[in-house]
Amino acid sequence: MSARRGFLAGLIPVAVFLLLEALSLWMLGKSAPLQDIWLNRISHNVMAHTWGRTETIRAYFSLREQNEILSGKNFGLFKELERYKALTRQYEAALRLDTASLRPGFNYMAAEVTALGRNSRHDYIILDKGSRDGVVPNSSIITPSGVVGMVFSVDEDYSYGLTLLNPQITVSARIGRGGVVAPLCWDGSDRNRVILKDIPLHLAVTPGDTVMTSGLSAVYPADIPIGVVEGSRLIDGAAGVVDVKLFEDFSSLRYVIIAQNPGRAAVEKLEEGDE
């Protein structure tokens, strides 16, 4: 108890001293302009130093937040760059179609899909090339993975066509390079599969065989891959049908190639003369 009383007794003189010092400084500032300026300068320097330290600490934490924002933006730019790289690879793949094995006399033009009707039984496709680019009706639409469809009409800047997933499109196809030739079309049952019709019943079909364009057409170049044989079956016990799984993924179709045969009109005229 005596120790506590002694501590308080020693603290009272210190408090009185500090109070007298503060009072003397206040009186000094009020009594002389020079001292007032000097005291204000000291107080301003102290305030500026304190504000500067505060802003430095605030800027440090703000910099961390800004770095997180920039990191998020950089990740977004990275994903966007990767998307464009993927599109570029698709476009380059379309341009790398092996024309050496294609039917001579065809002209080839890369195009981008601007619209694709996928939700109906009569799929259509719109491309960003038109008559201004030299596209004409009845040109075939292909990719390195297979047949896409055929151009039906054009204007100056765009082409309208029907895809292979449309019952109106029929392609002359062959099983292997020396196998049977038959009409290929979509039966409307599966968007990943088409059928070869009118297959003679005595012909054996091997699952895994590649189906490609036959070349017996003025519209489609020869040997464009279409799909792979999955099996064969009978319809009503009289007609043979071969199920073909498509190579082309129509759900991700972006770039295509328009194949035009400058001699198509002459060939069709000769065929009409034979009839």
Domain boundaries, the chain: 105-274
What pLDDT is recorded for position 221? 87
Q: What is the pLDDT of residue 162?
A: 93
Note the pLDDT tens digit of each residue in 165-195.
988 899 999 998 778 899 999 988 888 999 9
The residue type at 114: T
Least confidently predicted of 5-14, 168-177, 198-207, 241-250: 5-14
Picking from 37-46, 65-74, 122-131, 203-212, which range would have the lowest pLDDT averaged per residue? 37-46
- Cα(218)–Cα(262) distance, integer angstroms: 9
d(CA 139, CA 161): 9
Adjacent-strand bridge partners of 162? 124, 150
Superfamily of segment(s) 105-274: Rod shape-determining protein MreC, domain 1 (2.40.10.340)
Structure confidence at residue 51 (pLDDT) = 53
Cα–Cα distance measured from residue 46 to residue 40, given in angstroms and rounded to the nearest whole number: 10
Parallel, antiparallel, or unpaired: how do β-strands 146-154 and 181-185 relate?
unpaired
How far is residue 166 from each of residues 118, 170, 193, measured CA to CA in Å? 10, 9, 12
Instruction: Give pLDDT, residue 100.
Output: 46
Report pTM.
0.62
